[in-house]
Structure 1
Amino acid sequence: MNTKLLGSSLIIAGTALGAGMLAIPMVLAQFGLFYGTLLMVLIWFGTTHSALLLLEATIKSEGGLGLNSIASKTLGKGGQLITNGLLYALLICLLMAYILGAADLLVKAMASIGVELSFVKAQVVFTLLAGAIVACGTGVIDKLNRLLFFVMIASLLLTLTVLLPTFSAENLGQVTNHSHVELITTSAVLFTSFGFMVVIPSLVSYNQEATDKQLRNMVIVGSLIPLFCYLCWLFAVVGNLPAEQLKQFSSVSQLMEGFEHDKPWIGAVLSLFTGLALLTSFFGVAMSLFHQNRDTFKQNKIITYVLTFVLPLIGAIVAADQFLSVLSYAGIILVFLAVFVPMAMVYKLRKSATLAERYAAEGGTAMLIFGGAFGGFLLLSQLI
């Protein structure tokens, strides 16, 4: 795998790694590591297969910068409208969340060096600057994302190294909640934590010279990195904090405070990791929306920049408090967009034997049936 493909895998991983990194231990620890790990691997497998279906659809439809062109070629006008509606709803919601989170971190960072910055100004500054980077193109995002990703992983490894001496094997076997129904309801958090599929059309366009096999490996490597990070972090946190204590945490800041009691500086390292994870996720999602707008409206970069970032920024400023409750519905949107839409695209392409010699996701019809069952499971987990 060349550096360009590796960078693309890191964009996939960076898009997936977000706030879920720190939230996962609070969600899964109470059910024990065995069932928590089992569910996480299941969600990873289903999400990765859905991403490979989208990769197949992108390749066989001979792609485009965004899902707009792919949906038009595979699902017709009606499918294109539905896909665009789901995609815009999801990406705008996610960008609003990232703007809110980044502004909060930016205000705190400026305050630590004696500079007062209002929350609204922080939102505007972050959106304009980060948006300008996205508008520079996938190549710029790729190179910057590599640097941010390696710093992020270094901060995670530093944290894991420091936590290792206080690791308790007894904590790993603790189970405080034996309800499998409640375990299933956590699937939404896990599924959103692997929500990287929106960047695939952009990365296929970016790697036009790559073979189908290289693109397939790019997706698999990109999905394995967050799985590895999530599992390492889950074992580290559970091994250092009793499950009962984790169950009492209701926010990421409380989780950080749990570590800061014995290691005051660890909160700063985790804040660095959280900020970088949020930034890499913002780049991935914003790149997808930027390319979707470029693909849909066929405008120059300046107009596309305005179309991409003004609406999420206004939404974050005007409806900050209300939005946090609405964000929970993003998971349902993602199920339809990340599971059912790629299945429908691939079904149509395989039925018409379009470019049959090109890449096809492994498993054939049996895995399509699995994908449908996986999507139904995710919807059920959010409706329980």
Structure 2
Amino acid sequence: MNTKLLGSALIISGTALGAGMLAIPMVLAQFGLVYGTLLMALIWFGTTYSALLLLEATIKSDGGLSLNSIARRALGKGGQAVTNLLLYALLICLLMAYILGAADILSQMLEEVGLFVTPIQSQTIFTLLTGAVVACGTNVVDKLNRLLFFVMIMSLVATLLALFPTLSLQHLASIQSDDISGLVKTSTVLFTSFGFMVVIPSLVSYNQEATDKQLRNMVVLGSTIPLLCYLCWLLAVVGNLPNDEIKQFNNVSELMASFERGAPWISSILSLFTGLALLTSFFGVAMSLFHQNSDALKQNRGVTYIFTFILPLMGAILAADKFLSVLAYAGIILVFLAVFIPAAMVYTLRTAAAFPERYTVGGGSIMLFFTLIFGAFLLVPQLPDLIPGF
């Protein structure tokens, strides 16, 4: 795998490693380490397969900078309209969550050097500055993301090395809830934690010289790195903090404050890691929305920049202290966009003789059916919240 493809795999990993890193201990701790690990592995497998379906659809429709173009070629105008609606809703929700989390960390960092800003000010500063980086293009995001990802992984390793020696077997074995339906209901938050699929069209366009096999390996590697990081992080947090304390956390600063009581330097490294995780996720998702708007609006970078970042910023300002709620809504949207839509695209493309016979994900019709079951598994537990009286 060449440097460009490796950088693209890291963009996938960086997009996934964001708000989910913070949310996973909060939603899984009460169910115990074993159940949480098994559910996360299932979500990873279903997510990766769905991502490969989207890769197949992207390749067979001759690539494309965004899902807008791919949906038009694979599903027609009606499918294009539905896909665009879902994509905009998803990307805006994800960016809102990342802005909320990153702005919280930015405020803390500024306070440490004697600068005090309001939440709105920190959200605005973060969005405008990082948005300017995204507007510079995929090549800039790729190179910056490689550096940030390296520092992020090193800070995670340092944190884990500090926390693993203090793991408590009592905490690891603790299970406060055996409610299986409650465990399954957390699936959408976990699914959102692997929500990197939106960057695939941009990366296929960025790696036009790559073979289909190389693109497949890029997706698999990019999705596996977050799984390993999430599992290590879940082990470290659950093994060091009581479950009843973890499930009460509402934001990033509360989680880090718990570690600060034992060792302040761990909190500093953890702040660096979580900040970089949110930043790399923001870059990946914002890049997808920027390319979507560029493809749909056909305007210059300045106009596209404004349309890309104004709505997420306004949403974050209005959704203060709704970090987990925003992630849950994003997860529900992501089920349709990243599971059902790619399955429909692939089914249409495989039965249409007009499209080239190129990369095809293994498993045939059986795995397409599994994908639909996987989507239902994620969606059905959320219906009582979506439909009153269900």
Same fold per TM (> 0.5)?
yes
Write the letter of the residue equivalent to 2:148: L
Indicate yes or no: 2:69 matched with 1:87: no
Write the letter of the residue equivalent to 2:362: E
Matching residue of 1:178? 178
Structure 1, unpaired ranges of 5+:
none
Identity of aligned residues (%): 70
Is the contact made by 2:17 and 2:281 (CA closer than 8 Å) also made in structure 1? Answer: yes
Write the letter of the residue equivalent to 1:99: I
Matching residue of 2:152? 152
Instruction: State the Cα deviation string for residues 105-156 of structure 1 (Å, max 9, x = none).
Output: 2222222212233433333322222111101111110010011111111111
**Aligned equivalents of 2:10 and 2:314: distance in 1?**
30
Q: 1:105 to 1:235 in 2, by over 3 A?
A: closer
Matching residue of 2:214? 214
Write the letter of the residue equivalent to 2:232: C
Indicate yes or no: 2:381 matched with 1:381: yes
Q: 1:231 to 1:368 in 2, by over 3 A?
A: same
Matching residue of 2:22? 22
Matching residue of 2:313? 313
Matching residue of 1:350? 350
Matching residue of 1:139? 139
Write the letter of the residue equivalent to 1:373: I
Matching residue of 1:71? 71
Aligned residue pairs total 383
Write the letter of the residue equivalent to 2:209: E
**Aligned equivalents of 2:341 and 2:164: distance in 1?**
43
- Where do residues 103-252 of structure 1 align in structure 2 (5 Å cutoff)? 103-252=103-252
Is the contact made by 1:28 and 1:36 (CA closer than 8 Å) also made in structure 2? Answer: yes
Instruction: State the shift of 1:356 in Å.
Output: 4.9
**Aligned equivalents of 2:330 and 2:129: distance in 1?**
25
Instruction: State the shift of 1:169 in Å.
Output: 3.7
Q: 1:59 to 1:125 in 2, by over 3 A?
A: same
Matching residue of 2:388? none
Q: 1:180 to 1:68 in 2, by over 3 A?
A: same
- Where do residues 40-59 of structure 1 align in structure 2 (5 Å cutoff)? 40-59=40-59
Write the letter of the residue equivalent to 1:335: V
Q: 1:245 to 1:120 in 2, by over 3 A?
A: closer
Instruction: State the shift of 1:380 in Å.
Output: 1.2
Q: 1:39 to 1:357 in 2, by over 3 A?
A: same
Matching residue of 1:253? 253
Task: Calculate the TM-score normalised by the size of structure 1.
Answer: 0.94
Write the letter of the residue equivalent to 2:67: L
Write the letter of the residue equivalent to 1:263: A
**Aligned equivalents of 2:25 and 2:199: distance in 1?**
26
Instruction: State the shift of 1:354 in Å.
Output: 4.5
Is the contact made by 2:101 and 2:252 (CA closer than 8 Å) also made in structure 1? Answer: no
**Aligned equivalents of 1:230 and 1:327: distance in 2?**
16
Instruction: State the Cα deviation string for residues 181-231 of structure 1 (Å, max 9, x = none).
Output: 111111111111011100000000000000000000000000000000000
Instruction: State the shift of 1:170 in Å.
Output: 4.4
**Aligned equivalents of 2:304 and 2:176: distance in 1?**
50
Instruction: State the shift of 1:345 in Å.
Output: 0.4
Structure 2, unpaired ranges of 5+:
385-390
Matching residue of 2:335? 335
Q: 1:71 to 1:34 in 2, by over 3 A?
A: same
Matching residue of 2:262? 262
SS, match of residue 265 in structure 1: helix
**Aligned equivalents of 1:243 and 1:311: distance in 2?**
36
Is the contact made by 2:99 and 2:123 (CA closer than 8 Å) also made in structure 1? Answer: yes
Question: What root-mean-square deviation, in Å, do the aligned CA atoms of Structure 1 and Structure 2 show?
Answer: 1.8
Matching residue of 2:2? 2
Write the letter of the residue equivalent to 1:204: V
Instruction: State the Cα deviation string for residues 17-50 of structure 1 (Å, max 9, x = none).
Output: 1122132123222222222111100000001111
- Choose 172-181 or 251-260, whichever is displaced more: 251-260
Q: 1:150 to 1:322 in 2, by over 3 A?
A: closer
Instruction: State the Cα deviation string for residues 313-335 of structure 1 (Å, max 9, x = none).
Output: 23334x23496555532221111
Is the contact made by 1:286 and 1:308 (CA closer than 8 Å) also made in structure 2? Answer: yes
SS, match of residue 299 in structure 2: coil
Is the contact made by 1:60 and 1:354 (CA closer than 8 Å) also made in structure 2? Answer: no
Instruction: State the shift of 1:300 in Å.
Output: 1.9
Write the letter of the residue equivalent to 1:103: A
Task: Calculate the TM-score normalised by the size of structure 2.
Answer: 0.93
